[in-house]
Structure 1
């Protein structure tokens, strides 16, 4: 089994955090989004992973440190890491085709801006599986249309009239992804464009037109990481799941507590100093941070940051930040928000 991970986007909705860190490497519950996604897929697929192919963007942004991190992620799963580049942002279908040498055999395609909780049961009769989640407002999503045999016969983007309430979440299985590759090659060769881009859906529709059987897979939880608000919410939900699972080591044993309290669930990394602080619930703090005279809940704080004299709720703070709630002198970059 292979896992194909398109992750070349810049994550504009998560600015300013994604001005310096690629969105899939933003930490959620103590791990980068893409790390959690790939590990969770490998766990629920319950098959040996032979290769993980990552499709990255500009090397100036997705640099050597990103490649090293992703290579280690694949190696930890006993898999080969393949790194590809999508030189232009030309859509989901174009991104997948950037990894053309890896497009053979059984494979899962997963876009690195979402997290899941699921039990994957691969239907042996299906040529492909598209994972979906029941949603309250299907008009805001791409949804699947099913026939009487519960096979997918159509993909409909943001339907104005009700088609179904089963929204596509961006995770797909192909019994042989070479079939998708051939259909996407046709899309590229014939310049079939929607929304100014080459879309995976057009390759899938080509497969359906040739009689390939698509089934749905269900996820228990679908957690978005598209913008700051939902990413902070996802962080809290994931911490709750990890606590339910009995996950150990959510709080590093070398955290220094000076007249401070930790309210679970929280993730706290190494070399964090808490002084006169209340942390939690639903807080993730990276390594080498100092939190002083502060109350913080429902928040993500990345590495090497210092927070003082603050009362934070629904907060997302990046790396090497110095924030003093009693500030008089400030230096704030593009897309920053203080409320």
Structure 2
């Protein structure tokens, strides 16, 4: 069995971060979202992985390499434009061959991994297996309709009037039956070849399409709010580890990870928090659910429920919260502006000014 990991796409909902970085490499608890997916694939006993890449291919390849650090053998499959999930299956056809495979969206996060799902698929081997979860607003997702017996009878992509609250999670398992289906469909109104349409084709052909409704945690980390929420969830699993320096004037409370080479000076750090290697926290407060990457500086400031990427500095700006701060960013106080009024007054004017 192989894995097809989708790591193309423009990441428009995470701009401006994704103007200069792949959305799959934005870190959660100081580790790229994509890496959690690759680790889940390895834990499921899959070693051959095809990574579909687009405009950010160079950055993805530099970060993932040949996959050996994850126990994987990675092949890169270029996609000229993001033309849909089914299109990704089409361009990967030669690499996939006639093997079963799991398709994993590289910006998705699933607590607990996929090993149980993969084991069940290998045992029963339906034509397709989809993962579903209940969501508050299904209009933003692919949505499944089930019959009274819990069988999938219909799929819609981002419907205006959803027939259920069951959204497709970004993990799919397929036999080679999917290859005929992806070639049988036409582009949607979005101009994309939708994987939901391909699976619907299988349903219409009376193929064996099964579903599992997960109760655990899943997020599509495609926007800042969800990224911060995933960061919170992962940080809650931390175990305290202090490898860096904490001076006598500082205090750490709860599950705090301070990587080697980091320094905490006259500051208070309240976990769950992770501080990356080489980062300096000075005269500051870093509060719960915050990740600060390597080689950052936080001075005379407060930071909570936020993600700060590497090589950034926050200097003397009071309190920051609910924020995602990119790489090589400088946040400093604005220069003071003298109190003054600029007037252009006509003849015989009368003006009252509060001083």
For normalisation by structure 1, the TM-score amounts to: 0.85
Structure label with greater radius of gyration? 2
* Aligned 8 A contact 1:235 1:282 in 2: yes
* The one of 261, 270, 285 aligned to 2:292: 285
Question: 1:251 pairs with 250, 258, 267, which one?
Answer: 258
Q: Aligned-pair distance for 1:192?
A: 4.4
Matches within 5 A, 1:8-47: 8-43=8-43, 45=44
Structure 2: runs of 5 or more not aligned = 243-256, 337-355
Distance 2:10 2:274 in 1: 26
Partner secondary structure for residue 283 of structure 2 = strand
Q: Structure 1 CA distance, aligned partners of 2:165 and 2:42?
A: 27
The yes-or-no answer on 1:112 pairing with 2:84 is no
The one of 86, 95, 99 aligned to 1:93? 86
Structure 1, 212-221 or 294-303: larger mean CA deviation:
212-221
- 1:69 pairs with 2:63: yes
> What does the per-residue CA deviation read over 1:250-290, in whole Å, with 9 as the maximum and x for residues that have no partner?
43133211111211111211011110111121111111111
1:195 alignment partner in structure 2: 190
Aligned to 2:225: 229
Shift of 1:162: 5.8
1:317 paired residue number: 325
Contact 2:155 2:197 in 1 (8 A): no
Distance 1:264 1:193 in 2: 46
Write out per-residue CA displacement over residues 64-93 of structure 1, whole angstroms, 9 at most, x where no aligned residue: x42132235x32332210101111222221
> Does the residue aligned with 1:36 lie in a helix, a strand or coil?
helix
- TM score, norm. by length of structure 2: 0.81
- Please list, as runs of the form range in 1=range in 2, the aligned pairs for 1:118-197 lying within 5 A after superposition: 118=112, 120-121=116-117, 122-123=120-121, 124-125=123-124, 126-159=126-159, 163-174=163-174, 176=175, 178-187=176-185, 191-197=186-192
Aligned residue pair count: 313
Aligned mates of 1:199, 1:254 — CA distance in 2: 47
Aligned pair in 2 of structure 1 residues 35, 309: CA closer, same or farther (>3 Å)?
same
Distance in 1, matches of 2:222 and 2:8, equals 14
Counterpart CA distance in 2 for 1:150 and 1:68 is 43
Say if 1:109 and 1:278 are closer, same or farther in 2 by CA, change over 3 A.
Answer: same
Q: Following TM superposition, by how much is the alpha carbon of 1:205 offset from its aligned partner in structure 2, in angstroms?
A: 1.7
Residue segments in structure 1 that go unaligned for 5+ positions in a row: 330-339
Alignment of 1:265-284 (within 5 A): 265-284=272-291
Kept in 1: contact 2:156–2:196 (CA 8 A): no
* Distance in structure 1 (CA, Å) of the matches to 2:42 and 2:88: 21
- Residue number among 22, 47, 51 corresponding to 2:48 in the alignment: 51
SS in 2 for 1:115: strand
Which has the bigger relative contact order, CA under 8 A and spacing at least 6?
A: 1
Measured in 2, the distance between the counterparts of 1:92 and 1:55 equals 10
Which residue of 1 is the match for residue 309 of structure 2? 302
1:309 aligns to what SS in structure 2?
strand
Task: Give the root-mean-square deviation of aligned CA atoms.
Answer: 2.2
Of residues 283-292 and 200-209 in structure 1, the stretch that sits farther from structure 2 once superposed is: 200-209
